[in-house]
Amino acid sequence: MMNKHKFTASPVALAVSATLLCFSTTAMASDADKINELEERLNQLEIELIDAKDAAKKNDRVQFKSGNPSPEFVSQDGQSTMEFTGRIQLDYVNADAFYTGSKREYEGGINEVDFRRIRFGVEGYFSNVWKYSLEFDFDGHSEVEVKDANVNYRGFENSEIKVGFQKFGFGLEATGSSSQLAFLERASTDTFSPDRAVGASWLYKGDNYNFTLGYGVTALINDDDENEQQDVVNSRFTIAPINNSNHLLHLGASALYTKSNSAADETRYRARPNTKATSRIIDTGKFNTKSTQHYGIEAAYQHRNFLVQGEYQIAKTDELFIKGDAQGKATFDAAYVQAVYTLTGESWRYGGKKGTFKTVKPENAISAGGYGAWEIAARVDMADFNDTDAGIYGGKKTDYVIGLNWYLENNLKAQFNYVHTKADYKNGFEDHQDPDIILYEQDGNIFQARLQYAF
């Protein structure tokens, strides 16, 4: 008969077991806390990593371009921007007395300080392929004037389409910005440039050539409640067959056609002596014509810090009427040649995709302890608004201009111009001091200076 043994835990064994169980439970609890803590830290690192990746894909919301005090606001995804633009031009002018207008009315001398332009606007991109521009002029002499209000689609590889109120390209100097001029005013060829209008334009651009074609409409209601409308068609082609670090050759041609309705068939050509302060010293007077055609050729050559350019433009009219009498067709022309030499060695900047020049940027700006950039310039400007076969005696003038430019900063410059002008007339006019004296010519001098801040 087998004996049954009964297992009985001793007090010592029970104590040891209880102790081991307590240690085991404590260790398990400690490991679980550490695991939870590690998981929380991993989650936090993952969130920070995601935020860092997102931040790397985003642009700064506000950016400043080099040398430009205007901030550029950028959307979170970098696809849309908005930037403030503007230019302020303060002029001093001292001019002799002139006979002006088609009636050769006497105008006294001028000695004044005034704002030539005060413009502010915004421009930028949205959806990365649409560019917009809105600009206003506050010159203080008239109501606030809209200069640009348009959008430009740039989604094509080599083309741009602009729609809205805009300036249509015609000629070299007139196509560029007024803030990028070698002299205070554009030459007399600007008389033939089209006014801004509502319409559309197409620009095809290559590396060193471009072609533009546009159509616009100007319309307003006159004092007789008639709708004065003028249709404008323009085109311009430029090419730079030579464009390297030492030499640049620019060639171009422009054409412009305007057609007026019966309420807006009034046309007039007139020009000032390379200043805005005086009135026009040659003037065809008003005449009626259904259409006009303008043509122009342009050329420029640059060798490092020396730039010479010139333009010739001609205007032809359809059959014109003066006070209801038919006078046949008329032709007028204007031309200039100018040279700029930068004494400090900088070069003018050329944009082959639009066929325009921009002024130099000083390599030693005064804010960096330098002396800025200095240049001298000279121009001969001619215009002939006579057509005796059509019965128009607008006059002929030649302006000789000498300029000195000081670029203090990228967006700040001072300019000085001396103008000597000579005008000849086929129809004489009375001297204001002695009516018995008939004058057929006049000349005079103009001194003018400008301080420009543009951004």
Q: Decide if 163 contacts 150 (C-beta within 8 A).
A: yes
What's the one-letter identity of residue 127?
Answer: S
Q: What percent of the chain has pLDDT over 70?
A: 86
Q: Decide if 309 contacts 338 (C-beta within 8 A).
A: yes
CB atoms within 10 A of CB 432: 15
CB within 8 A of 175, min separation 6: which ones? 167, 169, 236, 354, 355, 356
Which is more confident, 425 or 37?
Answer: 425
Is it the case that residue 193 has pLDDT exceeding 90? Answer: yes
10 Å CB burial of residue 101 (0-12, 13-18, 19+) is middle
* Distance from C-alpha of 66 to C-alpha of 2, rounded to nearest angstrom: 105
Residue with tokens 């000597």: 420
Question: Which of 65-74, 148-157, 234-243, 385-394 shows the lowest per-residue confidence on average (mean pLDDT)?
Answer: 65-74
Mean pLDDT for the chain overall: 89
* Distance from C-alpha of 355 to C-alpha of 174, rounded to nearest angstrom: 12
pLDDT value, residue 19: 47
Q: Decide if 239 contacts 209 (C-beta within 8 A).
A: yes
Is it the case that residue 218 has pLDDT exceeding 60? Answer: yes
The tens digit of pLDDT for each residue in 119-161 reads 999 999 999 899 999 999 987 676 789 999 999 999 999 999 9
pLDDT value, residue 178: 96
Q: Decide if 354 contacts 203 (C-beta within 8 A).
A: yes
CB atoms within 10 A of CB 258: 25
pLDDT value, residue 8: 47
pLDDT value, residue 51: 59
Q: Decide if 109 contacts 287 (C-beta within 8 A).
A: no
Q: Decide if 421 contacts 274 (C-beta within 8 A).
A: yes
Question: Which of 41-55, 289-303, 315-329, 388-402 shows the lowest per-residue confidence on average (mean pLDDT)?
Answer: 41-55
CB atoms within 10 A of CB 153: 14
CB atoms within 10 A of CB 62: 9
Pairing of strands 270-271, 62-64: unpaired
Residue with tokens 């993952």: 46
* Distance from C-alpha of 320 to C-alpha of 331, rounded to nearest angstrom: 11
pTM equals 0.85
Which is more confident, 320 or 222?
Answer: 320
Q: Beta strands of 18-80 (E only): which ranges?
A: 62-64, 71-74
Which pLDDT band, with edges at 50, 70 and 90, does 342 fall under?
very high
At 185, list the tokens.
């005013």
* Distance from C-alpha of 162 to C-alpha of 202, rounded to nearest angstrom: 7
CB within 8 A of 247, min separation 6: which ones? 301, 302, 303
* Distance from C-alpha of 249 to C-alpha of 209, rounded to nearest angstrom: 12
418 strand-pairing partners? 402, 447
The tens digit of pLDDT for each residue in 224-242 reads 667 788 999 999 999 999 9
* Distance from C-alpha of 425 to C-alpha of 312, rounded to nearest angstrom: 22
* Distance from C-alpha of 135 to C-alpha of 245, rounded to nearest angstrom: 34
